Chains A and B, each alone.
Chain A
Amino acid sequence: MPHRDAHTASLALRLALSFALVLLLGGTALALSAFAYGRQAAQRAYDQLLIGAADQIAGSISVHGGAVVVDIPASAFDLLALAPDDRVLYAVLDPQGALITGYDGLTLPASRFATAEHAGEPVRLIRVGRQFSERNYAGAVDVVVGQTTRARDALARDITRSALLAVAPFALLMAGLSAFAVRSALAPLRRIEAGLAAREPRDLTPLDVAVPPEIGQLVATINRFMARQVRQFEIMRNLIADASHQLRTPVAAMRAQAELAAEEPDPERQRAIVERIHNRAVGMSRLTDQLLNHALIIHRADAAPHDALDLRRIAIRIAEEIDADDLLLDLPEDEVACRGDALSLAEAGKNLVNNAMRHGAPPVTLAACREGGLAVLSVRDRGPGVPEALWAGAGARFDRTGAVTQQSASIGLSIVSAVAAAHRGALRFGRRPSGEFEAALTLPAARR
């Protein structure tokens, strides 16, 4: 199934993708911050050059006879030439904004630092003022120095690249650790796989593999699933064993009687034999029904989902399906809530009623009630009931040695017992103070 393959592949893939995403986002964030840091560091470094050059130019300004004289030192330009490929702009402006020396037409930056454009390239500008208060000259002379940004851009790239190169080994280490983490996180799954693969085909005992709690649920589910398989196997095996045993003896008897009838010359006696064959066939047909019913109900009780239901409704349904005039119903006014499979419960109840009608004494009463934490579906009659000595064992497995009629009662009880077990309940026998015999199916009551 390609669909299934895609799913199994996607687990490791999904983990890998998650890790890759985390690394990618982290790496991008790192690269961006490295770039921001690089830009800032480069900006600061080369701004220092501009400041130095501007200060040197400002320091070379003097006033001679009312005129400003600027004798720019070569060191100012040497300083700017430390950014070897960048163009240089500079101007010295008098307090009125007129050019004293340098490039004409430079706009005076409003703040200390500014960014402008020169001949199609961005320029970083700095403005430094120098105040003069001579007898014949007063006011602020402004020095503007600018430089294109090639060197600082290159330095920013360089810093970013170095930072990323320094971080790259850690990223690789992280990737390696992630791969290791993925492998070790998936290791319990591989242990389960190995545990299952190493089993004998018929070995359905619970898995015993040491796993972390997150995967313990999975193991528990697998074990529950296997336990159900075990029960189903058990049911099948019992059914086959019971059916073969129960049916073989009567079929052999019927064959013997049929042969007898064929050789019987007296028509009267022959008819009597046929009558017996018929009776036996009817009994066997009921037995077959019950056997199949048994298997079906037990399977269903185990497999069908349990719904919230009211035992009074189950009782009414049983009464309707049996449709006997002498069946009495004893139901409380309040709901008798529990969880279960309505069909299995109804079938178990019918078996109890049938048993009481067939083997007990009227009147037969079908009752539903709550007893503390239990929801109880019970059948009462005035007959002798099941002997007290057998109460404990009744219903566990029916007796294969008794007569057919007793067998059918026994099968009925075993159905009730199986249904009770599937509902985490029990089959209970008792004698009421009134002297009535009571067979009851008790289930855990649901909270109202």
Chain B
Amino acid sequence: MKLHEYQAKLLFAREGIPIPKSGLANSPIEARQMAAEIGYPVVLKAQVLSGGRGKAGGIRLVRSEAEIETTANLILNSQIRGIPVQRLLVEKAVDFSREFYLGIVNDRSLAKPILILSSTGGIEIEEVALTSPDNIEKAAINPLLGLQNYTVRALASRLGIDSSLWKALQQIASALWKLFDRLDATLVEINPLVVTPEGTLMALDGKMTIDDNALYRQKDFLELSDQIVETPTEQEARKFGLNYIQLNGNIGCMVNGAGLAMATMDCIQQAGSEPANFLDIGGGATADKVAAALSIIMKDPKVSSVLINIFGGITRCDEVAKGLASVINEIPRDLPIVVRLAGTNVEEGKKILEQYPQLLQANTLMSAAEIAVRESRQVLA
């Protein structure tokens, strides 16, 4: 789960990482009141969970009270990569002489968190890695020991960062590690970390991602419900324990297993169309769950045919067939449904489905995808 900039900064401040004076605003009036408290110039920053906020016009400098409501209104009425802006961070504009990047992220291959420091912050770290790799230094952190100060000094020294800043860097890096470790983060990032004219360090932007698998023990974050970028249908699916992600195509699909669900989507594309969704019913799905899954797929008005691909392992094909049979009367007659069953109890499952000639059966995954695409074209034509 990704946190907003303001949430990350709140956590930074609690750990003693210096941040500019700031406050949240939900309206132009609130922005004006907040700015009066903070003092001009201020920066208005759209709080959306998307990169490229600056380029999209979501971050703007305001020099005086005369411009603030107009500018706040402009950002609050905009969308950034399709996400409407609902909140602004009003922040004291800060002068700086240099920008660094400081972050901790899990390295999958090493199976260790790594500390990343760059002497050229302010732009995406991937870009720095490509254009000027000499400006980035990394070090693995032993998760049993935690981040040690010498690691931070080593990186700073290799990058030629002035030694007068090392102590402050150590403090900030160690605070970041504490957040990373204690809050089950998979990423914490300050970009840019700036050097002010007074020679101090300050975090001007912050990112944090919390491990979804650890949310059960990080309950504070569960309350931040606006975080979850889900459509209403996706939320409903989650209630049934279904993993559903809405996509842009016309072929609805229902599959058991995430890898096989992706493979089924790819088959649909290979057969000449696009999937309307990703839907993994998980292992051992019952008839009820299958019925719920089908009704969720049918809520998407784009869907012009449905492909159900079940490879029974823990999941039993006859149970899936029973689930489909239980909702057969709710399925519109003009919505073609292609079912492909394989694996555990496949014969029993097929026998149940034979009683419902409106369900089209296929023996292989690829042929099922081809039939679903053909049927969809006839519906759309």
Q: Do A and B bind each other?
A: no
